[in-house]
């Protein structure tokens, strides 16, 4: 589990997590842009380079947090614009890419979440444990269900049994997502205390996210050793396992940033 060894959770580490996330998205997207779309490919490559440079600074803990946050915000918002623009073109059937619209939307939402996190760090806003749990669950459970959908998207049709298992897991995470949305509206703001119903839900999600992380790492091993038929980018599973890891770690610590 290479990523857990060098995944730091101090402020630099959290900024690095999000920058790396966008950087990976750019690299994954790069594989799926048709050679007819030279302008898009070039713009995306520029974003990858820029995000990569800022990510490196965060990894090496170079410079002060304030400057790093400004650079991270700029690089992220530029990448966000490119993705949102391409998503709109895709909805108009006006771009040749192999990336499904929902997957672009998934990346757009993560880039928006990264901006929110940068702003929270910058302002030093304190979030109550209940608000943090609800936010993390509502945001990430949809992403977790999506991840299973994208494993299916890339997995060869001939993997009948694996695909069936993945579909079942996806449906479980869709139900958990709906439960998170229900708790979000049932437990009204301001949320000063953490109700037992929320603590119970949190504990279930920590357990489910841990087993999802392990499952993704099992598939990761198969993909990296070329032991399963798939068109997935080689390090996609490691990327989404890292996100499951981030979710349960945040839940264990009742935090967003
Ligand atoms: Fe991601
Ligand atoms: Fe994701």
3-state DSSP assignment of residue 155 = strand
Q: Which ligand is nearest to the CA of 24?
A: 1
* Topology of domain 126-257, CATH: Ferritin (1.20.1260)
Q: Which ligand is nearest to the CA of 244?
A: 2
- Tell me how far apart the alpha carbons of residues 145 and 162 are, in angstroms, rounded to a whole number: 16
Nearest to 3 by CA among 163, 255, 240, 230: 240
Q: Do domains 7-125 and 126-257 have the same CATH topology?
A: yes
Per-residue pLDDT for the chain (257 aa), expressed as one digit of tens each? 556 656 789 999 999 999 999 999 999 999 999 999 999 999 999 999 999 999 999 999 999 999 999 999 999 999 999 999 999 999 999 999 999 999 999 999 999 999 999 999 999 999 999 999 999 999 999 999 999 999 999 999 999 999 999 999 999 999 999 999 999 999 999 999 999 999 999 999 999 999 999 999 999 999 999 999 999 999 999 999 999 999 999 999 999 99
Domain ranges of the chain: 7-125, 126-257
Distance 110 CA to ligand 2 centre (A): 7
Distance 202 CA to ligand 2 centre (A): 20
Q: Which ligand is nearest to the CA of 26?
A: 1
Q: Which ligand is nearest to the CA of 143?
A: 2
- Tell me how far apart the alpha carbons of residues 151 and 163 are, in angstroms, rounded to a whole number: 8
Domain 7-125 coded CATH 1.20.1260.120: yes
| pTM (two decimals) | 0.96
Q: Which long-range contacts (CB under 8 A, 24 or more apart) does 189-195 make?
A: 189/131, 190/128, 191/128, 191/130, 191/131, 191/134, 192/128, 192/130, 193/130, 194/129, 194/130, 194/133, 194/254, 195/130
């Amino acid at each position: 589990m290479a990523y857990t060894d060098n995944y730091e959770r101090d402020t630099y580490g959290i900024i690095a997590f999000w920058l790396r996330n966008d950087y990976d998205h750019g690299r994954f997207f790069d594989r799926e842009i048709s050679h007819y779309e030279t302008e898009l490919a070039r713009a995306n490559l520029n974003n990858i380079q820029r995000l990569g440079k800022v990510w490196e600074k965060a990894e090496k803990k170079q410079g002060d947090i304030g400057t790093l946050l400004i650079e991270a915000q700029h690089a992220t918002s530029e990448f966000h614009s490119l993705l949102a623009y391409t998503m709109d073109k895709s909805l108009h059937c006006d771009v040749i890419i192999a990336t499904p619209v929902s997957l672009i939307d998934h990346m757009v939402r993560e880039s928006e979440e990264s901006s929110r996190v940068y702003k929270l760090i910058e302002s030093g806003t304190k979030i109550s444990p209940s608000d943090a749990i609800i936010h993390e669950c509502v945001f990430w459970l949809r992403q977790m269900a999506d991840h299973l959908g994208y494993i299916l998207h890339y997995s060869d049709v001939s993997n009948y049994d694996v695909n069936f298992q993945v579909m079942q897991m996806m449906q479980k995470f869709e139900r958990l997502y709906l439960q998170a949305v229900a708790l979000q509206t049932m437990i009204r703001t301001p949320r000063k205390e953490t109700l037992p119903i929320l603590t119970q839900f949190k504990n279930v999600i920590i357990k489910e996210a841990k087993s999802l992380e392990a499952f993704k790492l099992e598939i990761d091993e198969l993909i990296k050793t070329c032991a399963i038929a798939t068109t997935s980018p080689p390090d996609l599973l490691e990327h989404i396992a890292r996100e499951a890891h981030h979710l349960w770690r945040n839940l264990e610590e009742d935090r967003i940033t």
